[in-house]
């Protein structure tokens, strides 16, 4: 049933779903180093993809939005590489909140 629902989503909605899914995985893995390492890797891959997309010349996002997403992706990469599975709770919460806030922004944009 979930697969059928995902097929009906717009690209923005699917991107938002991916960010929420990564946020949930990070939250669920916070007390298990092996699971957290995997969740961090998946989240990092997601943000590398976001950075790649906003860096493309044909991306129609506003320059300020693209720059903000680039900065967020740098923060996520630096934090992930610096701390890995030993990440502090506050920094893990920060990564989770970034994903949720960007997801919310994508959904708001999809409604307008």
Average pLDDT of the chain to the nearest whole number: 90
Q: Is 88 left (phi over 0), alpha (psi -120 to 50) or beta?
A: beta
Q: Is 87 left (phi over 0), alpha (psi -120 to 50) or beta?
A: beta
Is 102 within 8 Å of 76 (Cβ atoms)?
no
Identify the three-state secondary structure at position 61. Answer: coil
Question: Which pLDDT score, from 0 to 100, does residue 10 have?
Answer: 78
Compute the C-alpha angle 103/68/96, nearest 5°.
40
CATH topology of domain 11-111: 1.20.120
pLDDT tens digit sequence for 24-41: 999 999 999 999 999 999
Which one is predicted more confidently, 3 or 94?
94
**Domain spans of the chain, in order of start:** 11-111
């Amino acid at each position: 049933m979930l697969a059928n629902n995902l097929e009906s989503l717009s690209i923005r909605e699917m991107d938002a779903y991916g960010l929420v899914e990564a946020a949930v995985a990070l939250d669920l893995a916070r007390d298990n180093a092996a699971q957290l390492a995997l969740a961090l890797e998946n989240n990092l891959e997601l943000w590398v993809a976001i950075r790649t997309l906003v860096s493309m010349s044909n991306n129609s996002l506003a320059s300020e939005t693209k720059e903000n997403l680039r900065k967020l992706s740098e923060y996520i990469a630096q934090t992930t590489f610096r701390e890995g599975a030993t990440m502090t709770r506050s920094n893990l919460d920060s990564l989770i909140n970034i994903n949720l806030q960007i997801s919310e922004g994508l959904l708001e944009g999809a409604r307008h």
